[in-house]
Amino acid sequence: MTTISIEGMEFFAYHGCFPEENIIGTRFVLDLYLETNTNEAEVSDELSKTVNYMEVYQIVKKQMAIKSNLLEHVGRRIIDEVKACFPQVAQVEVKVKKMNPPLGGKMDFVSVTLKG
């Protein structure tokens, strides 16, 4: 098995439970790890024999544009959509970070990591 990773994807989105978060939005950073068999691609050098990470990025971008209350919900939608579009992916791990969350103090981010 091979791990294909797309790390540090940045989006501006409107996820959160507080009304202000749905109005002003904030920055999110995502890391995505895909477990898949790349044996055919290693030999053939053909994109069609592996996971096209440009297409995966477009899936993540589309899901990040859909407002959600919870990061867990966003992460699960991403996992489900990636697996639906790429059945050869055995496992997806996604880490969704909300940068500078409005929690009343200084912190870099809060995050959730989901696997599926």
Which one-letter DSSP state was computed for residue 96? E
Q: What tokens does 9 get? A: 């994807």
Decide if 67 is catalytic.
no
Identify residue 23 by its one-letter amino acid code: I
Indicate the number of domains in the chain. Answer: 1
d(CA 89, CA 114): 15
d(CA 74, CA 60): 9
Chain segment 14-51, per-residue pLDDT in tens? 999 988 888 889 999 999 999 999 999 999 999 999 99
| Structural contact between residues 113 and 78, judged by C-beta atoms closer than 8 angstroms | no
* Residue 39, domain extent: 2-115
Q: What CATH number is attached to the domain comprising 38?
A: 3.30.1130.10
The dihedral region occupied by 16, where left means phi > 0, alpha psi between -120 and 50, and beta the remainder, is: left
Which one of the listed residues 61, 98, 106, 115 is annotated catalytic?
98
Chain segment 76-113, per-residue pLDDT in tens? 999 999 999 999 999 999 999 999 887 778 889 999 99
